[in-house]
Structure 1
């Protein structure tokens, strides 16, 4: 029996949302139970250390799936983004998200194969590389502004509830789903704002050591804010699991895209 490519891509997307949710739950668990702050890469390293090898395998597969789905959305507009600059920006964001998740999957594969784990500040290392490029200071400043913009957009969603628009209507109307999403997006928004601030100060000072990612942002927060944000990240993980089950994922017009590709081939 032939496999439906559209159904396969839908399954990949759901697997990806589940993997993202599990990873955020691990990050929150480490903060709440051990006071240990980690970014996604660090949480993968924690699982690889023996704390959850099989969970790492599942998350790795999920990130590959999610990355493929997001890149497919960027290329073929699977999620039906509107025409114009706004839709183009959303597709570019989808492509960037796909690349990030495939990179995390690559890191996880290296961990599964026993490759040495980097204990450095990934944001600092990236900033150091950028500063050695022509216009590197400007790159850091622009990157910081982008992160601030993403953080603000996440916080706006806590008011607009845009994150519910992609869910099945019966689930999206449930109050617990709305508040789970609100808490999750508020926490993520705050983390983006802090990391954006870190990158801006690194750019203005031209000091890579002043950059920081999620791990540094969580460590920078004082009590009780670190606990509150960790709880919010746990809520984001739960909301991602809700998306894995109830997100409306549009069918992919695979046959139509194939016909368009064949029509462009030279006769």
Structure 2
């Protein structure tokens, strides 16, 4: 098995890990009313599953993160050359960075480092506020997040994500609707988080900012339950992608050979 094939295998594991994190987020809301983001779900699984589970999750997240960054750099998912394709690749880069950060958190948990459990979005807003024009930067981040949320909603309506699945599975109602409600719920959460950033930037108060955890905690009954069901669908769809998504190999072997030749 070459390096590209190993990365593809780890990417499938990464899809499964991402799905599991969203299943945990939905489970915690539905069972206890507790709002968490993917980092909080990772801590929850680490507390209950131990070192082995954290190691498996870290490996999957690393593979998934590298694959997303490879897509951004080399267009391995064959996005169009229009504005939408550019946005897809920018989103892939952001997703890659986020999931590599989650992998780093999993490794730190394996090493016994205590997690602060703070809101990274709020911390980032606080850092931005200390810069010249920080309020504008935070508002720009909010607009981007709202835009990402809208794109997720568009995905839910158009269901173009089904094009990446094996055709036989893509025709199944359970695959279609788990993805639709999942992307719709995720899009709404991103839009709420973007609103928090816009408010924080406009008022120049970093404590107004917040990510998924704050957005889910802000929702009241029955909307928190509705969104939780949607995120449950996204978690299920992640597991479907882990098994049935058609993946193009990242050109890792060529990169390694070129690096060796230069040395």
* DSSP-derived class of the 1:165 partner: helix
Contact 2:24 2:41 in 1 (8 A): yes
* DSSP-derived class of the 2:249 partner: coil
Q: Would you say how many aligned residue pairs link Structure 1 and Structure 2?
A: 261
- Aligned counterpart, 2:154: 156
**TM-score, length-normalised on structure 2?**
0.93
Contact 1:12 1:69 in 2 (8 A): no
Alignment partners' CA distance in 2, 1:36 and 1:227: 11
- Which of 106, 120, 127 is 2:125 aligned to? 127
Cα distance change, pair 11–222 in 1 and its aligned pair in 2 (3 A)? same
Alignment partners' CA distance in 1, 2:222 and 2:104: 34
- Aligned counterpart, 2:197: 199
Deviations 1:43-63 (A, max 9, x none): 1222233x2224333222211
Alignment partners' CA distance in 2, 1:256 and 1:104: 27
- Aligned counterpart, 1:39: 37
Contact 2:70 2:250 in 1 (8 A): no
Cα distance change, pair 255–17 in 1 and its aligned pair in 2 (3 A)? closer
Question: For structure 2, which runs of at least 5 residues remain unmatched after alignment?
Answer: none
Alignment partners' CA distance in 2, 1:120 and 1:252: 34
- Aligned counterpart, 2:49: 52
Equivalence map 1:216-235=2 (5 Å): 216-235=214-233
- Which of 153, 171, 185 is 1:173 aligned to? 171
Deviations 1:199-228 (A, max 9, x none): 000000000000011111111000011111
Question: For structure 1, which runs of at least 5 residues remain unmatched after alignment?
Answer: none
Contact 1:22 1:59 in 2 (8 A): no
Alignment partners' CA distance in 2, 1:39 and 1:257: 34
